[in-house]
């Protein structure tokens, strides 16, 4: 071979390396989407109609509030860059400049006010109680939102942090327009597809695409993650956690914080739990330490108060009741010699807990039938007032006991401002008055005094019995890292790509 030929071949080789004059290199395969498995269908894209834990978390990546709460539950800017209070009943919020909606339009105060008005008084709005002290909203200038309240409103910022602002009426994927880091790509009333929003003003999410699929069976959700077909399974049943921990491709995420596991009773009507003696006896049988150890594999802490320890409204002076199982069993047997019978409803996550309660009551001659439902089925039954007893987890999204007092224990009002999830039928005018007075008291010390009185009265009613502070649990693949909000909700834009192993 001549020197010229060898030199020519060397040049061609260099050009091939540089990508010149050779066959093109195949592009890398697209990264698979982030796959989330949830317990029930994503039934709405309208945040004012979404009151379940999962959907409200997902929608928090599509829409944003005026303000949000940081990890210490302190308000910080979101869509509003600043705010102030010219008077105790007048709040002024200044919007960030040039915030873009997913349809390319600029967010204005007029659009924010339109949405806030609908959230406060729209039909079926689950946001009404979060704005219970608001008199009216006004857009004074393109970037200024004025909020006038009926009087002092100490929880207004906490309430606004839970009200997500939409750019229109999100009745379908095409009209679900927000300002968040993800936009809606597809939605069929159950499954949800998200794509990163190129016009988002903040940090771009790690994953360009997110797929959310409903799967009612908790064990099946976990199995999909363990098999590598999904990245995140919410609400894993406690009996799946040991297997998930042992799997080299999975991990268990547990976050303590703002969730209480509650046993609720229907106190209205003629059922067994309408009798306060029955409720008190059942409460006296409950061994919370045992429940945490055996029913939830230690992922929780016993609770006796109506707020978790991290929330405003947890009072050290309110002591745990004495466990008196012998007296409780005697009280139940004396009520009906043939024994009592009633039904307890729950979801698959609480299967072990329901079984523990069934066994506890059986020893006192109380036959408790346990019925497992999907969350939509349980929610529908609770809304109709057709559950004598139920298990549920309540999330204190504002970090304040008022979340439960206002929404779950105050008598229901026609305007939806109070009692929208009062499933017990409790109606106590004195409790209502204390709750409303606390909601209007700006002095922190005086407000705490009112809250303590309300908490003690509500605890005496035994309409709901706290069992334990529940850790929020997820099983995930090892290719992701979760950054949960203070309430434990999963927002897709806070899911990070795990660094490479090694």
pLDDT of residue 412: 93
Domain ranges for the chain: 75-159, 173-256+473-497, 259-470
Cβ neighbours for 476, distance < 8 A, ≥ 6 positions apart: 225, 231, 232, 233, 250, 251, 253, 482
What does residue 214 show for φ and ψ, rounded to 5 degrees? -80, 140
pTM strictly above 0.75: yes
pLDDT of 248 strictly over 80: yes
Instruction: Indicate the angle between helix axes 276-285 and 325-335, nearest 10 degrees.
Output: 150
In this prediction, what percent of the chain has a pLDDT beyond 90? 67
Lowest mean pLDDT of 25-39, 171-185, 399-413, name the range: 25-39
Q: Which residue has the higher pLDDT, 289 or 72?
A: 289
Strands of 389-395's sheet, edge to edge?
300-302, 464-470, 259-265, 389-395, 340-346, 366-372
Looking at domain 173-256+473-497, what is its CATH homologous superfamily?
Answer: Periplasmic binding protein-like II (3.40.190.10)
DSSP summary character for residue 21: S
For residue 24, what pLDDT band results from cuts at 50, 70 and 90? low
Question: What are 51-91's pLDDT values in tens digits?
Answer: 788 999 999 999 999 999 888 888 999 999 999 999 989 99
In this prediction, what percent of the chain has a pLDDT beyond 70? 93
How many helices (DSSP H) and strands (DSSP E) are in the chain?
Answer: 14, 21
pLDDT of 459 strictly over 70: yes
Q: Which CATH class is domain 75-159?
A: alpha beta
pLDDT of residue 9: 45
Lowest mean pLDDT of 95-109, 179-193, 402-416, name the range: 402-416
Q: Which residue has the higher pLDDT, 323 or 447?
A: 447
For residue 129, what pLDDT band results from cuts at 50, 70 and 90? confident
Mean pLDDT of 427-449: 93
Question: What CATH number is given for 259-470 in this structure?
Answer: 3.10.105.10
Give CA–CA dist 388/267, Å, rounded.
8
Q: Which residue has the higher pLDDT, 182 or 397?
A: 182
pLDDT of residue 334: 81
């Amino acid at each position: 071979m001549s020197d010229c030929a060898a030199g020519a071949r060397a040049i061609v080789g260099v050009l091939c390396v540089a990508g010149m004059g050779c066959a093109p290199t195949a592009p890398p395969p697209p990264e698979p989407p982030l796959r989330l498995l949830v317990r029930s269908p994503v039934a709405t894209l309208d945040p004012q109609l979404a009151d379940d834990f999962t959907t409200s978390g997902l929608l928090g990546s599509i829409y944003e509030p005026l303000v949000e709460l940081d990890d210490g539950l302190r308000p910080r800017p979101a869509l509003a860059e600043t705010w102030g209070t010219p008077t105790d009943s007048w709040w002024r919020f200044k919007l960030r400049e040039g915030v873009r909606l997913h349809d390319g339009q600029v967010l204005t105060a007029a659009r924010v006010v339109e949405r806030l008005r609908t959230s406060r008084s729209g039909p079926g709005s689950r946001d009404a109680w979060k704005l219970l002290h608001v008199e009216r909203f006004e857009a004074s200038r393109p970037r200024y939102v004025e909020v006038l309240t009926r009087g002092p409103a100490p929880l207004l910022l906490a309430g606004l942090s839970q009200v997500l602002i939409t750019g229109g009426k999100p009745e379908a994927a095409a009209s679900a327009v927000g300002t968040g880091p993800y936009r809606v790509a597809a939605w069929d009333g159950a499954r949800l597809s998200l794509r990163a929003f190129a016009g988002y003003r903040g940090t771009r999410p790690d994953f360009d695409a997110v797929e959310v699929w409903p799967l009612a069976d908790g064990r099946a959700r976990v199995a999909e993650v363990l098999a590598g077909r999904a990245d995140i399974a919410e609400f894993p049943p406690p009996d799946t956690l040991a297997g998930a921990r042992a799997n080299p491709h999975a991990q268990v995420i547990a976050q303590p914080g703002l969730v209480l596991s509650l046993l609720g009773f229907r106190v209205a009507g003629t059922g067994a739990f309408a009798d306060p003696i029955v409720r008190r006896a059942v409460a006296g049988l409950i061994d919370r330490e045992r429940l945490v150890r055996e029913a939830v594999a230690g992922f929780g802490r016993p609770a006796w108060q109506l707020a978790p320890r991290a929330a405003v409204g947890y009072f050290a002076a309110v002591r745990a009741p004495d466990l008196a199982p012998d007296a409780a069993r005697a009280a139940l047997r004396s009520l009906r010699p043939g024994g009592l019978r009633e039904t307890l409803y729950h979801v698959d996550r609480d299967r072990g807990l329901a079984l523990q309660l069934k066994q506890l009551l059986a020893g006192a001659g109380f036959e408790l039938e346990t019925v497992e439902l999907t969350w939509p089925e349980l929610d529908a039954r609770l809304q109709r007032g057709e559950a004598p007893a139920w298990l549920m987890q309540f999330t204190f999204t504002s970090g304040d006991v008022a979340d439960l007092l206002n929404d779950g224990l105050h008598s229901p009002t026609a305007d939806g401002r109070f009692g929208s999830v009062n499933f017990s039928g409790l109606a106590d005018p004195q409790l209502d008055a204390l709750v409303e007075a606390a909601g209007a008291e700006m002095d922190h010390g005086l407000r705490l005094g009112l809250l303590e009185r309300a908490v003690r009265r509500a605890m005496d009613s035994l309409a709901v019995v706290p069992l334990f502070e529940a850790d929020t649990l997820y099983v995930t693949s090892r290719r992701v890292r979760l950054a949960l909000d203070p309430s434990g909700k999963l927002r897709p834009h806070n899911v990070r790509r795990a660094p490479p192993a090694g």
